[in-house]
Amino acid sequence: MYASRNGNLCTKDCLCLFVCPTGATDTEDGQIDKSRCLDGCRLCVDACPSHAIYLVFEKYPEPAPKDPEVTTALMNLCEAKFGEEDTSLSIAEYTENSIEARIARALQRSTRILAEDCAREGGYMTPDCKPTKELLAQFPDSQAARKLLELLR
Amino acid sequence: MKKEKTLSPVFSNLAKAATKQQRYEEAGLFSQLAEQMYVEVPKKGNLDSLKDSMIKDIDIHYPEIRKAAQAVGDRGALRAVTWGEKVTKIHKSLIARYASKGDAIMDGNEIFICEACGFIAIAPSPPNRCPICKVDSSRFSKVK
Ligand code: SF4
Ligand code: SF4
């Protein structure tokens, strides 16, 4: 287990720096150095006045499998949303009107968020869950996919 | 076997999840995959065809997910439907508003987007709270 900091909530330069026994919380990039974290001793978590620090497991238990019908329905929508994203992108690229292009870019980014939500609820919730690994295994030619399978083992 | 073109959002979502777990190497690799899967279809779409697709989402896809999710009590999926359906309706009305009012809808306004749920606000400044998912204004970013 290790501690992780939500930079948006952190008010900077306070308690965690003084309670951490290893100095893991004091880093130049604002994130906690997980390699120095003592298996999530949680002193920083309890001390933080802003609830900005949370603990993360190295390995998560497998989440309950998703109902196949829910997954299918969500992934159908994910595909439709991806089509909309693509259309938005092409509008942004081809239109000569800068306002229309801006609206199209907003639609593209927003639609991506909706598609990602479908993917998450469709069972691809965490990096190391079974559906993710099975998906990665379908791309034996991709170096990134092979490396990920190695890291997530 | 999943259709490849749906996979870019799957991988970009996993990149976000990996970042939250401080797994930066994994996050980078998932982002790479998300880019690689983005096979751009060279076509000229327009806002009307986009709106038609959104109407289909609202009439067919969201009710389908809701039905399946209710049958098994999948509250996470129901949450995604609740937010996504509202945001899609906002997309649709934005396109309609732009069709009738044109560039004037931007007078004195900026476009802000909620990074948590996708809500789009056209206003001089971001809302204090997202009306859909209730996060505060710090999760909004400006679209340029
Ligand atoms: S959990 Fe303990 S060791 Fe880890 S960063 Fe926090 S205080 Fe330091
Ligand atoms: S205690 Fe919390 S708010 Fe203070 S510096 Fe640490 S993480 Fe930030």
pLDDT in tens, chain B (144 residues): 345 667 899 999 999 999 988 888 999 999 999 988 776 665 678 899 999 999 999 999 999 999 999 999 999 999 999 999 999 999 999 999 999 999 999 999 999 999 999 999 999 999 999 999 999 898 999 999
Q: What is the pTM of this model?
A: 0.86
Amino acid making up residue B89: K
Give A 10-29 residues with CB within 8 A of chain B.
none
**Close Cβ partners of B62 (under 8 Å, ≥ 6 residues apart):** A77, B81, B84, B85, B88
Chain B residues with CB inside 8 Å of A84's CB?
Answer: 50, 53-54, 57
Q: What are phi and psi of B92, to 5 degrees?
A: -60, -45
**Is A43 a pocket residue for ligand 2 (Cβ < 6 Å)?**
no
Closest CA to ligand 2's atom 3: A10
CA of B104 to the centre of ligand 1 (A): 53
- What is the per-residue pLDDT for B43? 67
- Tell me which H or E stretch contains A118: helix A98-121
Contact A82 B111 (CB under 8 A): no
- What is the per-residue pLDDT for A7? 86
Q: What are phi and psi of B129, to 5 degrees?
A: -135, 140
- What is the per-residue pLDDT for B2? 46
Whether residue A153 has pLDDT greater than 90? no
Residue B30 tokens, joined? 């998932």
CA of A123 to the centre of ligand 1 (A): 31
Residue A102 tokens, joined? 């801006």
Residue B56 tokens, joined? 């289909």
Chain A residues with CB inside 8 Å of B14's CB?
Answer: 119, 124, 126-127, 132
Chain A residues with CB inside 8 Å of B69's CB?
Answer: 67, 70, 73
Look up the ipTM and state it.
0.92
Residue B31 touches partner A, C-beta closer than 8 Å: no
The domain segmentation of chain B, as residue ranges, is 2-101
Question: If pLDDT is split at 50, 70 and 90, which confidence band does A48 have?
Answer: very high
Q: Which residues sit with their C-beta closer than 6 Å to ligand 1?
A: A 3, 19-22, 24-25, 32, 37-38, 40-44
Contact B69 A70 (CB under 8 A): yes
Question: If pLDDT is split at 50, 70 and 90, which confidence band does A58 have?
Answer: confident
Coil vs helix vs strand at A53: strand
DSSP assignment of A10-34, as one string? --SSSHHHHH-SSSTT--TTSS--G
- What is the per-residue pLDDT for A12? 87
- What is the per-residue pLDDT for B56? 96
DSSP state of B60: I
**Is A138 a pocket residue for ligand 2 (Cβ < 6 Å)?**
no
A23 CA to chain B: closest CA distance, Å?
17
Q: Pick from B3, B44, B88: which is nearest to A94 by CB?
A: B44
Query: Rounded to an integer, what distance in angstroms lies between the CA atom of residue A116 and that of residue B22?
Result: 19
CA of A27 to the centre of ligand 1 (A): 13
Mean pLDDT of A131-152: 93
- Length reported for chain B: 144
Are B81 and B63 in contact by the 8 Å Cβ rule? The answer is: no
Reference B47, options A107, A76, A109; nearest CA is A107
Question: Rounded to the nearest 5 degrees, what angle is found at the Cα of A106, between the Cα atoms of A102 and A109?
Answer: 135
Please state, as a whole number, how many other Cβ atoms lie within 10 Å of the Cβ of residue A25: 24
- What is the per-residue pLDDT for B4? 67
Query: Rounded to an integer, what distance in angstroms lies between the CA atom of residue B47 and that of residue B99?
Result: 9
Q: What are phi and psi of A22, to 5 degrees?
A: -115, -5
